[in-house]
């Protein structure tokens, strides 16, 4: 949990001037053992990376709750650390309600951390975590609105992309803390760990074992690819990852490179940061559909980047979680080839049978590169039944890959 600023032994060093005076990270947690162990290492690790941390050292905090709410409102990030003892504390849950409100207003980025506790146990209020919650719920049965807000806050925060350390994981607390610090640094503008594509020059460097190539291209930039001077200058901004394969290159266009209707309105979509799955990737952002009745995700790509005379398939990479909003209508998928006299490829897919905790590929269409389809292809996933709400969809991007 959070409150007064924690001053470490290094606070008198020359590095202290690099730490902003405003709060940046608010820690929300419960448990003396957690405070003496995991938290005692996490806080110095954050501060060593010039990240300001606010943590409360008071056990009984009722009269301090208003000031703590102010700290939450001033912060840029809240780390909500769910552990088995979390629901012992009504103050933790009250903080969580305030965190949710700030998150809903797009004033705060929240990173849930499941510390040696299965996320499903938290979401479903199971085990000791759930039993303690129900004990508090019973104690406040004369004020049912307060436990209801607690429950809504737990469920809402769990919807955001989280970091998870299993109880019997081979990952050490130290390595897990380094991952947390890295993710926090990506979100904070002061961290300087991520640079937008529009600020970078075009680069194409072969990675170790020639497994991957990252390409950044800003708007209206003239291309300068080695041995590919004929490639066009693209009018849209995107980032994609090129993976070498025996039958041709595979291109991954991130969610930020797609056009997603209402994606910048936090009432409908939330942008989340994925831990890097590939050592050659930089920041991986995904789009999460919170609630909308209109789904429209589109993208474009020039076939001149593809290997010649190769059969390709275009797929959306998504993950769909269970929510109270049912996907009653199938999504529609459409692909239009350049300079083609063929009809657009169109198909439908039911999403209801793809609710899972795994990333899946949704096929849009297939084509073979040739001199007749040189140019820009377009692809889309949409569903415009305006009376039907949809939620729980994570969009990672679009993959264009050789078909085997």
Looking at per-residue pLDDT, the higher value among 341 and 201 belongs to 341
Q: How far apart are CA 187 and CA 67, in angstroms?
A: 25
Q: How far apart are CA 107 and CA 33, in angstroms?
A: 31
Position 60 scores a pLDDT of 43
- Nearest-5° angle of CA 178, CA 182, CA 186? 170
What pLDDT band is residue 364 in, cutting at 50, 70 and 90?
A: very high
Q: Are 386 and 296 in contact (CB under 8 A)?
A: no
Q: Are 24 and 76 in contact (CB under 8 A)?
A: yes
Catalytic residue among 84, 88, 95, 383: 95
Is the model's pTM score more than 0.75? no
Position 66 scores a pLDDT of 64
Q: How far apart are CA 297 and CA 318, in angstroms?
A: 12
Q: How far apart are CA 211 and CA 242, in angstroms?
A: 8
- Structure-token pair, residue 330: 């199938």
Q: Are 312 and 367 in contact (CB under 8 A)?
A: yes
264 among known catalytic residues: no
Q: Which of 47, 53, 54, 55 is nearest to 18 (CA)?
A: 47
Q: Which of 163, 165, 171, 151 is nearest to 94 (CA)?
A: 151
Q: How far apart are CA 397 and CA 400, in angstroms?
A: 10
Q: Are 262 and 384 in contact (CB under 8 A)?
A: no
Mean pLDDT of the residues in the chain: 75
- Structure-token pair, residue 346: 């169109």
Q: Which of 333, 351, 349, 334 is nearest to 390 (CA)?
A: 351
Task: Measure the N-to-C terminal CA separation of the chain; round to a whole number of Å.
Answer: 52
- Residues near 225 by Cβ (< 8 Å), separated by ≥ 6? 202, 204, 231
**Residue 292: strand pairing partners:** 390
Position 191 scores a pLDDT of 39
Query: In 3-state terms, what secondary structure has residue 31?
Result: coil
Query: In 3-state terms, what secondary structure has residue 73?
Result: helix
Q: Tell me: pLDDT of 349 over 80.
A: yes
Which is the CATH superfamily of the domain at 14-191?
Toll/interleukin-1 receptor homology (TIR) domain (3.40.50.10140)
CATH of domain 197-402: 2.60.120.260
Position 172 scores a pLDDT of 87
Place of tokens 């590169």: 369
pLDDT per position as a tens digit, 158-177: 877 788 888 887 888 888 99
Q: Tell me: pLDDT of 43 over 50.
A: yes
What pLDDT band is residue 345 in, cutting at 50, 70 and 90?
A: very high
Q: How far apart are CA 212 and CA 249, in angstroms?
A: 10
Q: How far apart are CA 375 and CA 38, in angstroms?
A: 54
Q: Do domains 14-191 and 197-402 have the same CATH topology?
A: no
Q: Tell me: pLDDT of 198 over 60.
A: no
Position 193 scores a pLDDT of 33
pLDDT per position as a tens digit, 3-15: 333 333 333 222 3
- Structure-token pair, residue 53: 């941390």
User: How does strand 212-217 pair with strand 259-260?
Assistant: unpaired
pLDDT over 90 percentage in the chain: 31
Spell out the domain ranges in the chain: 14-191, 197-402
């Amino acid at each position: 949990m959070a409150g007064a600023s924690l001053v470490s032994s290094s606070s008198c060093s020359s590095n202290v001037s690099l730490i902003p005076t405003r709060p940046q990270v608010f820690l929300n947690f419960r448990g003396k053992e957690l405070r003496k162990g995991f938290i005692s290492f996490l806080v110095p690790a954050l501060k060593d990376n010039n990240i300001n941390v606010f943590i409360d050292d008071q056990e009984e905090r009722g009269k301090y709750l208003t000031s703590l709410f102010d700290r939450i409102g001033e912060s840029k990030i809240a780390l909500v650390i769910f552990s088995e003892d979390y629901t012992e504390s009504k103050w933790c849950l009250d903080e969580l309600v305030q965190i949710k409100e700030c998150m809903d207003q797009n004033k705060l980025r929240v990173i849930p951390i499941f510390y040696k506790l299965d996320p499903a146990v938290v979401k479903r209020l199971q085990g000791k975590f759930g039993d303690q919650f129900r004990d508090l719920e019973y104690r406040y049965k004369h004020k049912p609105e307060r436990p209801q807000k607690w429950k809504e806050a737990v469920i809402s925060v769990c919807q955001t992309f989280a970091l998870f350390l299993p109880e019997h994981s081979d990952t050490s607390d130290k390595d897990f803390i380094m991952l947390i610090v890295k993710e926090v640094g990506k979100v904070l503008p002061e961290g300087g760990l991520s640079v937008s594509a529009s600020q970078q020059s075009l680069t194409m460097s072969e990675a170790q074992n020639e497994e991957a190539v990252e390409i950044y291209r800003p708007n209206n930039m003239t291309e300068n690819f080695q041995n590919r001077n004929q490639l066009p200058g693209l009018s849209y901004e995107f980032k994609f990852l090129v993976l070498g394969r025996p039958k041709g290159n595979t291109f991954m266009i991130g969610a930020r490179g797609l056009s997603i209707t209402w994606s910048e309105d936090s009432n409908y979509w939330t942008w989340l940061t994925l831990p890097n799955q590939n050592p050659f990737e930089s920041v991986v952002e995904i789009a999460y559909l919170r609630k909308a009745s209109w789904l429209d995700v589109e993208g474009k790509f020039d076939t001149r980047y593809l290997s010649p005379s190769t059969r390709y398939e275009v797929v959306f990479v998504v993950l769909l979680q269970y929510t109270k909003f049912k996907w009653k209508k199938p999504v529609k998928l459409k692909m239009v080839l350049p300079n083609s006299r063929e009809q657009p490829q169109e198909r439908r897919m039911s999403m209801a049978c793809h609710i899972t905790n795994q990333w899946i590929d949704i096929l849009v269409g297939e084509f073979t590169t040739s001199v007749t389809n040189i140019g820009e292809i377009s692809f889309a996933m949409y569903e415009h039944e305006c009376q039907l709400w949809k939620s729980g969809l994570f969009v990672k991007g679009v993959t264009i890959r050789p078909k085997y």
